[in-house]
């Protein structure tokens, strides 16, 4: 069995605060799976991290999270990677695996983990994008407050 290769496709470090970061033109014909790594700094206690695939704003996302603010009213129009109030002027590290990103015969599965050492928080997420399209773009979204300067985002393709 061949050893999988992780290829850095793109990375972004914010020079100014931003509400989103988009990776477009992802070559999923070459890569079977995608890994998204973020180190987000949020500007308020209400800041949340979410992902949207191929610009899809429909109700096609489902998420299960091990740590969540019970007052959240998630509309499922994005994959929610929130860790409660983890982003209030502190850093949250996330690693999300998106399986079968190039498949056109099944929905996409996402498994993620997140931690915030500043707050002593850790969490895991699992989700599904109910769409059979290849993933060609991923937008990292900040809800509640912008991602602050120096937040980093990287996307890797996996060749099996």
Mean pLDDT to the nearest integer, 25-29 = 83
pLDDT score, position 84: 44
Does the pLDDT of residue 160 top 90, yes or no? Answer: no
CATH number of 5-159: 2.60.120
Residues of the chain with pLDDT > 70, as a percent, come to 78
Lowest model confidence (mean pLDDT) among 18-27, 41-50, 142-151: 41-50
- Looking at the DSSP bridge assignments, the partners of residue 99 are 109
Going by pLDDT thresholds of 50, 70 and 90, the confidence category of residue 131 is: very high
Average pLDDT, integer, range 107-132: 85
- Report which of 127, 139, 154 is spatially closest to residue 56, judged by C-alpha positions: 139
Residue 5: pLDDT band with limits 50, 70, 90: confident
Residue of 81, 73, 18 whose CA lies nearest to 52: 81
* Token couple for 83: 């860790």
pLDDT at 33: 93
DSSP letters spanning 107-128? PEEEEEEEEETTTTEEEEEEEE
The first and second tokens of residue 23, run together, are 């990776």
Instruction: Report, in this order, helix, strand and coil percent for the chain, each rounded to 5.
Output: 0, 50, 50
Rg, the chain, Cα only = 15
Q: Is the pLDDT of residue 69 over 50?
A: no
Query: What confidence score (pLDDT) does residue 73 get?
Result: 46
Query: Residue 129: is its pLDDT beyond 80?
Result: yes
* Cα separation, 121 vs 85, whole angstroms: 10
Q: Confirm if 21 and 153 have CB atoms less than 8 A apart.
A: yes
pLDDT exceeds 90 at position 89:
no
pLDDT digits (tens, 9 = 90+) for 42-67: 776 666 788 899 999 998 888 877 66
Mean confidence (pLDDT) of the chain = 82
Res 105 pLDDT > 90: yes
Distances (CA, A) of 135 to 17, 61, 142: 26, 14, 20
Q: Domain residue spans in the chain?
A: 5-159
């Amino acid at each position: 069995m061949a050893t999988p290769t992780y290829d850095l496709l793109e990375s972004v470090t914010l020079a100014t605060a931003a509400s989103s970061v988009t990776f477009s033109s992802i070559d999923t014909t070459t890569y079977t799976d995608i890994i998204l790594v973020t180190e987000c700094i949020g500007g308020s206690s209400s800041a949340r991290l979410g992902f949207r695939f191929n610009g899809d704003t429909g109700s096609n996302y489902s998420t299960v999270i091990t740590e969540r603010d019970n007052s959240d009213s998630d509309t499922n129009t994005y994959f929610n990677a929130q860790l409660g109030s983890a982003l209030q002027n502190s850093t949250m590290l996330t690693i999300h695996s998106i399986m079968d990103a190039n498949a056109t015969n099944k929905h996409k599965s996402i498994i993620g983990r997140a931690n915030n050492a500043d707050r002593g928080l850790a969490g895991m997420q699992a989700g599904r994008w109910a769409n059979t399209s290849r993933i060609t773009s991923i937008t990292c979204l900040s809800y509640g407050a912008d991602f602050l300067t120096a937040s980093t985002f990287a996307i890797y393709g996996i060749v099996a």
